[in-house]
């Protein structure tokens, strides 16, 4: 169709735009006008009674005052979003989102970032939201596009990231025909969203958008999904809506602070478990004061959204992923004080092992949950129970650059030795990340972003969003090979946007953690077929070639010295780079004293 349009004569006005673009825009405008007429005829009530599809419209139908002539829904939507502080849109659009795409030209402050898979768009929006505290938009195509992006929306939900998913849908009057892309968007969106809304008229779209942004940012932060019917986005008569107030963090009562203080003064073993906002500098410093004054131990949740750490901050270990190690870390604790974290549970159930990791006889004190003012609660507690204590910052201390063979352990030492100040680490190194926390703990201050929801395929997109959110900061994606393949196309976005991201692929050529989990769940009798399903070596993936094929300069390191040289160069040079670090899989090298994986 587009080749026919391109052959049409140019307009007499001498428009300088390429002929294909002029005609495709006219075509879009023509369809738009037609759609506007149809939309005026159809009312929300008609749609809601339109047969089999009607029960799919479960999200609140948004209505408001009709707007004035002049702006179509999509343009007013984008203007509303930029007015609400949403100015980056990670997108993988389709036909039903074309008006929103076209509106990006009309509203220049909105930066559109093309992602070649929806999981990259949603993971990037997660990285952006974690670093800015503001939502980015992820523009997705109907139910299937949303479904492709769902795993990373799940991770974002677990991270309490403010994120706006805009999901295009069929025109309201078209849904009754059950066209091929028709599906239950509401059901999909509901599984990850704090709020789902569906405007049914152009005039209502911006009220929906402003509400969505406010709901995404409402403490503790979450995914808000705006389902946007195509005719709503092309209808005229929409007006931008100003931003809505965002509710503040919930203050923590003196009573809760008092209970926690009493526990700390009890003389019995106490652990303060930090999570969410508690993993930022103010919360850690207050907790460290409490540790100085009362002898309580401080731990961080296993998979924090954003952990500020390094020299100049208090040293805080995270609760380990393997339940056995977490239980040992908690030891004989009698009082567990939760500050932004949930009571610890085992990641999975294992036959004969407990799901709840709180030791028997331990009292749990909920000082602050995620939506509360966690930092404020910890500061109030420190002022009460540790008024004279000062936080003790960790000194800068880096490992020596190692020599010899490249392993996950020596690679961690290289990373610890070279990590730049204010770096942002997107950590999906999985089993190869076991040595990273210790090797980087004394590096200059940096942010550490983790796989909050355990759904792999987050690291490369997370780095994308973090880099766009934080120009001038070095981003390091530490990525296991199996996980990298889920969203490998993020590398193309790294190259296209010229992002300063160094990706390290820990190429252990296996799903190493699952090899261990086979044993841990008691399926140890698994034979060659089962083990083969966890093997990535035949054929082995050539990550350097994959990266080059997407425009990212790449190299491969097989020794510690090679890795150090390549990492130093990649970090010094702006723009994206990839280093494929060939490392043995954890567990394949007997005698290394490994107690468990880091995922
Ligand atoms: C979305 C999703 N699919 C599947 C899994 C199950 N899973 C957990 S770890 C893993 C393989 C990890 O392999 P890799 O990323 O290479 O890390 P390694 O274990 O080798 O360190 C899989 C498939 C998951 N956690 N999330
Ligand atoms: Mg692997």
Rounded distance from Cα 456 to ligand 1 centre (Å)? 6
Ligand closest to 484 (CA) is 1
Determine the 3-state secondary structure of 524 from DSSP: coil
State which of 117, 321, 511 you would mutate to test the pocket of ligand 1, scoring each by most atoms of that ligand within 8 A of its C-beta: 511
- pLDDT confidence of residue 32: 37
Of the pLDDT bands very low, low, confident and very high (cuts 50, 70, 90), residue 587 is: confident
- What DSSP string describes 245-277? PPPPPBPPPHHHHHHHHHHHHTSS-EEEEE-GG
Give the distance (Å) from ligand 2 centre to CA of residue 512.
5
Whole-number Å distance between alpha carbons of 381 and 448: 26
Q: Which tokens in the block code for residue 210?
A: 């402003």
Query: Same CATH fold, 408-582 and 254-385?
Result: yes
pLDDT surpasses 70 at 426: yes
Distance 288 CA to ligand 2 centre (A): 36
Q: What is the pLDDT of residue 106?
A: 86
Measure the CA dihedral 176/177/182/183, to 10°: 50
Structure tokens belonging to residue 126: 């997660």
d(CA 74, CA 202): 8
Region 43-66: mean pLDDT is: 38
Among residues 479, 381, 476, 462, the alpha carbon closest in space to that of 428 is found at 479
Nearest ligand for residue 460 CA: 1
Cα separation, 436 vs 456, whole angstroms: 18
CA gap 72, 64 in Å, rounded: 16
> Which residue, by CA, sits nearest to atom 21 of ligand 1?
431
Tokens at 524, concatenated = 């140890």
pLDDT by residue (tens digit) across 313-364? 999 999 999 999 999 999 999 999 999 999 999 999 988 889 999 999 999 9
Q: What angle do CA 296, 301, 303 make, to 5 degrees?
A: 160
Return the CATH fold of 73-234. Rossmann fold (3.40.50)
- Higher-scoring residue by pLDDT: 54, 430: 430
Distance CA(429)–CA(35), nearest Å, equals: 49
- The percent of residues in the chain predicted with pLDDT above 90, rounded, is 81
Partner residues linked to 228 by β-bridges: 168
Assess contact for 446 and 309: CB atoms under 8 A.
yes
CA angle 426, 427, 432 (to 5 degrees): 150
Ligand nearest to the CA of 429: 1
Closest among 441, 408, 323 to 592, alpha carbons compared: 408
Question: Which listed ligand is nearest to 599 at the C-alpha?
Answer: 1
Distance (angstroms) between ligand 2 centre and the Cα of 513 equals 8
Q: Which of the listed residues 513, 517, 534, 597 should we mutate to test ligand 1's pocket, taking the one with most ligand atoms within 8 A of CB? A: 513
Closest ligand to C-alpha of residue 483 is: 1
Of how many residues is the chain composed? 599
pLDDT mean over 54-61: 44
The SS3 call for residue 367 is strand
Output the CA 431–ligand 1 centroid distance in Å: 10
Q: At which residue do the structure tokens 């040595």 appear?
A: 435
- Model confidence at 497: pLDDT above 60: yes
Residue whose Cα lies nearest atom 13 of ligand 1: it is 511
Atom of ligand 1 nearest to the CA of 457: 1
pLDDT at position 33: 38
What's the confidence (pLDDT) of residue 36?
34
Asked whether the beta carbons of 368 and 374 are under 8 A apart, the reply is yes
C-alpha span between 36 and 83 (Å, rounded): 25
pLDDT at 69: 55
Ligand 1 pocket test, candidate residues 348, 456, 508, 510, most atoms within 8 A of CB: 456
| Cβ atoms 541, 509 nearer than 8 A | yes
Instruction: Return d(Cα 223, Cα 542) in angstroms, integer.
Output: 35
What is the C-alpha to C-alpha distance for residues 489 and 461, in angstroms, rounded to an integer?
9
Please tell me the predicted confidence (pLDDT) of residue 70. Answer: 67
Q: Which atom of ligand 1 is nearest to the CA of 513?
A: 19
Looking up tokens 């190869």, which residue turns up?
Answer: 432
Task: Name the pLDDT band for 241 (thresholds 50, 70, 90).
Answer: very high
What spacing in Å lies between the alpha carbon of 510 and ligand 1's midpoint? 9
For residue 66, is pLDDT > 70? no
376: left (phi over 0), alpha (psi -120 to 50) or beta: alpha
- Alpha-carbon distance of 520 to 162, in angstroms, equals 35
Residue of 520 and 118 predicted with greater confidence: 118
pLDDT band with cut points at 50, 70 and 90 for residue 285: very high
The Cα 315–Cα 297 span in angstroms is 11
Per-domain residue ranges for the chain? 2-57, 73-234, 254-385, 408-582
**Residue 585 alpha carbon, nearest atom of ligand 1:** 20
Tokens describing residue 128: 């952006």
Q: Indicate the average pLDDT of the chain.
A: 88
Question: What is the mean predicted confidence (pLDDT) over 363-371?
Answer: 98
Mean pLDDT of 8-24: 32
Distance from Cα 553 to the centre of ligand 2, integer Å? 22
The residue whose CA has the least distance to atom 25 of ligand 1 is 455
How many angstroms separate the CA atoms of 516 and 123, rounded?
27
**Contacting residues for 421 by C-beta, under 8 A, at least 6 apart:** 444, 445, 446
Pocket test for ligand 1, best of 482, 585, 596 (most atoms within 8 A of CB): 482
Closest ligand relative to 431 C-alpha: 1
Q: At residue 34, does pLDDT exceed 50?
A: no
Which strands sit side by side in the sheet containing 61-62, from one edge to the other?
61-62, 193-199, 223-229, 163-169, 137-141, 88-91, 111-114
Class level of CATH domain 408-582:
alpha beta
Classified by CATH at the fold level, domain 254-385 comes out as: Rossmann fold (3.40.50)
Residue 56: count other Cβ atoms within 10 Å of its Cβ: 18
**Three-state SS across 209-249?**
HHHHHHHHHCCCCCEEEEEEEHHHHHCECCCCCCCCCCCCC
Q: DSSP alpha helices (H): ranges in 351-404?
A: 374-385
* Helices and strands (H, E) in the chain, number of each type: 23, 19
Give the residue, 446 or 353, on which the prediction is more confident. Answer: 446
Tell me if residue 548 falls in helix, strand or coil.
helix
* Residue 483 CA to ligand 1 centre (angstroms): 6
pLDDT single digits (tens) 146-198: 999 999 999 999 999 999 999 999 999 999 999 999 999 999 999 999 999 99
pLDDT at 167: 98
Distance separating alpha carbons of residues 119 and 216, to the nearest angstrom: 19
Cα 505 to averaged position of ligand 2 atoms, centre (Å): 9
> In this structure, are residues 520 and 545 in contact, taking their beta carbons and an 8 Å threshold?
no
Helix, strand, or coil (residue 168) = strand
Which atom of ligand 1 has the smallest separation from the CA of 586? 21
Check whether 420 has a pLDDT greater than 50: yes
CA of 511 to the centre of ligand 1 (A): 6
**Relative to the CA of 431, which ligand 1 atom is closest?**
21
Cα(465)–Cα(525) distance, integer angstroms: 42
């Amino acid at each position: 169709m587009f080749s026919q349009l391109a052959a049409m004569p140019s307009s007499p006005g001498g428009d300088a735009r390429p002929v294909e673009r002029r005609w495709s825009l006219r075509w879009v405008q023509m369809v738009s006008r037609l759609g506007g007429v149809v939309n005026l005829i159809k009312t929300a009530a008609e749609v809601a009674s339109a047969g089999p599809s009607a029960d799919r419209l479960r999200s609140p139908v948004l209505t408001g005052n009709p707007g004035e002539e002049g702006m179509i829904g999509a343009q007013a939507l984008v203007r509303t979003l930029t007015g609400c502080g949403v100015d980056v849109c990670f997108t993988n659009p389709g036909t039903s989102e074309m008006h929103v795409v076209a509106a990006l030209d009309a509203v220049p402050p909105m930066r559109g970032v093309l992602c070649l898979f929806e999981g990259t768009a949603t993971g990037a929006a997660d990285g952006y939201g974690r670093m800015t505290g503001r939502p980015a938009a992820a523009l997705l195509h109907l139910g299937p596009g949303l479904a492709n992006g769902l795993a990373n929306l799940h991770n974002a939900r677990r991270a309490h990231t403010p994120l706006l998913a805009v999901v295009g849908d069929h025109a309201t009057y078209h849904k009754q025909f059950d066209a091929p892309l028709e599906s239950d968007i509401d059901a999909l969106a509901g599984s990850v969203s704090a709020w789902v809304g569906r405007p049914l008229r152009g005039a209502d779209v911006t009220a929906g958008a402003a509400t969505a942004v406010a709901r995404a940012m409402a403490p503790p932060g979450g995914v808000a999904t705006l389902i946007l019917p195509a005719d709503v986005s092309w209808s005229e008569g929409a007006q931008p809506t100003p931003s809505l107030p965002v509710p503040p963090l919930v203050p923590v009562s003196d009573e809760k602070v008092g209970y926690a203080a009493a526990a700390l003064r009890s003389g019995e073993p106490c652990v303060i478990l930090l999570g969410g906002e508690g993993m930022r500098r103010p919360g850690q410093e207050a907790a460290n004061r409490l540790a100085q004054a009362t002898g309580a131990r401080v731990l961080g949740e296993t998979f924090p959204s954003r952990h500020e750490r390094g020299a100049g901050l208090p040293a805080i270990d995270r609760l380990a992923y393997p339940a056995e190690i977490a239980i040992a870390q908690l030891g004989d604790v009698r009082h567990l004080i939760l500050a932004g974290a949930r009571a610890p549970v085992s990641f999975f159930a294992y036959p004969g092992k407990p799901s709840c990791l709180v030791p028997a006889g331990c009292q749990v004190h909920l000082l602050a949950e995620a939506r509360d003012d966690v930092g404020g609660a910890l500061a109030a507690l420190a002022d009460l129970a540790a008024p004279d204590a000062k936080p003790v910052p960790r000194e800068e201390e880096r490992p020596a650059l190692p020599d010899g063979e490249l392993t996950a352990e020596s690679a961690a030492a290289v990373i610890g030795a070279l990590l730049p100040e204010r770096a942002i680490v997107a950590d999906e190194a999985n089993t190869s990340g076991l040595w990273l926390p210790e090797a980087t703990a004394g590096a200059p201050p940096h942010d550490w972003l983790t796989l909050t929801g355990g759904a792999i395929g987050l690291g490369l997109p997370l780095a994308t969003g973090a880099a766009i959110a934080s120009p001038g900061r070095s981003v390091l994606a530490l990525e296991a090979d199996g996980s990298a393949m889920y969203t490998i196309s993020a590398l193309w976005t790294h190259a296209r946007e010229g992002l300063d991201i160094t990706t390290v692929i820990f190429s252990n050529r296996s799903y190493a953690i699952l090899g261990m989990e086979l044993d841990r769940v008691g399926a140890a009798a698994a034979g060659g077929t089962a083990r083969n399903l966890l093997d990535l070596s035949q054929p082995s993936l050539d990550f350097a070639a994959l990266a080059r094929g997407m425009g990212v300069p790449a190299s491969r390191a097989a020794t510690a010295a090679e890795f150090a040289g390549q990492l130093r160069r990649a970090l010094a040079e702006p723009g994206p780079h990839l280093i494929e670090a060939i490392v043995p899989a954890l567990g394949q090298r007997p005698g290394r004293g490994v107690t468990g994986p880091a995922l």
